[in-house]
Amino acid sequence: MAFSNLDLARKQVLMFGGKGGVGKTTTSAATALHFAAQGRRTLIISSDMTPSLSDIFECEIGRQETAIPGVDNLWGLEIDPDEVMRRWKVKFGPQIYDASLVFVDMPYDELVDYVGMAPGIQEEFLLDFILERVRHGGYDLVVWDTAPAGDTLRLL
């Protein structure tokens, strides 16, 4: 799809996926730069466990949204799964604990950690983390540089 077609489609999220080594990060970065240059507040997110956005943009991008130096309207974020789980515990932990007390008597941290290990839960929380950026991050566009295909398919 040409950039001109994407320009017309006021998308909120563009997701780049595929096998490792096919150019997902390069294409994601080029796309994010394009839309930032068009004046759209753009966040590029990497969910790859070995992210390389910092290498491409030649600046330190970590687990906090970081303005890309020298590029207006562009921020980067390399997702840390531990940070996603920490935020999940803050957001949902109390509700899960209160609901679970009816069935089991366990200390808060043990119970929330146990629930967080359920199959598919971490993937669900990653999607929630990204969705929060889309809904409440103040960005016009989120460009998502996904992990290699196997990890991304499990996520979806």
Q: What is the pLDDT along the chain (156 residues), one digit of tens a residue?
A: 555 555 555 668 898 877 777 888 999 999 999 999 999 999 999 988 777 898 999 999 988 899 999 999 999 999 888 888 888 888 889 998 999 888 888 999 999 988 888 887 778 888 888 888 899 889 999 999 987 655 555 555
Per-residue pLDDT, 82: 84
Residue 149: per-residue pLDDT: 54
Q: Give domain 9-155's CATH superfamily.
A: P-loop containing nucleotide triphosphate hydrolases (3.40.50.300)
What strands lie across the sheet with 13-16, from one edge to the other? 13-16, 141-145, 42-46, 74-78, 66-67
Tokens 């839960």, located at residue: 121
Identify any residues that bridge with 151 across adjacent strands, giving them in sequence order: none
Predicted local distance difference test score (pLDDT) of residue 65: 92
Q: How many residues does the chain have?
A: 156
Q: Residue 156 has what pLDDT? A: 55
Contact predicate 44/57, CB 8 Å: no
Does this model's pTM top 0.95? My answer is no
Q: How confident is the model at residue 37, as a pLDDT?
A: 96
Contact (Cβ atoms closer than 8 angstroms) between residue 37 and residue 27:
no
